[in-house]
Amino acid sequence: MRGDGLRIIAIIGFIVLLSMMTSPALADIFLYIDKEGVMHFTNVPTHYQYRVFLRERSSNTSKVRTSYKPDSNKYDHLIDTSSQKYGVDFALVKAIIRAESSFNPYAISTKGAEGLMQLMPETAMKMNVLNPFDPRENIEGGVKYVKYLLERFDHNLKLSLAAYNAGETVVTQNNGIPNYSETKNYVAEVLRYYKEYQSSSPKGTPGR
């Protein structure tokens, strides 16, 4: 046990040192321990079993890779498929993805939300998403959840978006959008992107 402890400490020290040497803009480090007990470290998690091991010290963002260069049209075919399947506006889904992750499939928030549509682990489980870092699974699960929220809040778009950000229970308890700056800003941001995508895409249809 003592030897294992020393090995872990040595690994932690090496990772911290490496992070400090490679760049002044440190990246979060993620850890996954496989069935054989082997520890895998990365700054770009490739599946849902990776968890934050070392948090970036100087980050002002909740996203995993601050240097990630998004392709805003890369996932349009997946958005289109899920939007048609669940009857949710293509432009709305794309607006949510832009606000949530800036089209970064490996984004993880400080609260633990993961992937393109920033699904919390419990939400991903409810929507049958096994790997939230898989764009197809994440988008389908996210769209399915948006559909659920729209139906729960009688297709009131603002309330549904507030629930996506703050949680459906909070919105229900407040009987409206909660007085959270983050949630208010989020709703306004998504609506702004939504309007933008509606004007540039024939798939968009107005929401309430």
Residue 71 backbone class (left: φ over 0; alpha: ψ -120 to 50; beta: rest): beta
* Residues in Cβ contact with 89 at an 8 Å cutoff, skipping those fewer than 6 apart: 83, 194, 203, 204, 205, 207
Query: Which residue among the candidates 100, 114, 137, 140 is catalytic per the annotation?
Result: 100
Give the single-character DSSP code of 187.
H
SS3 call for 58: coil
SS3 call for 41: strand
Please state the length of the chain: 208
196 token code pair? 């933008």
Q: Is 36 a catalytic residue?
A: no
Give catalytic residue positions.
100
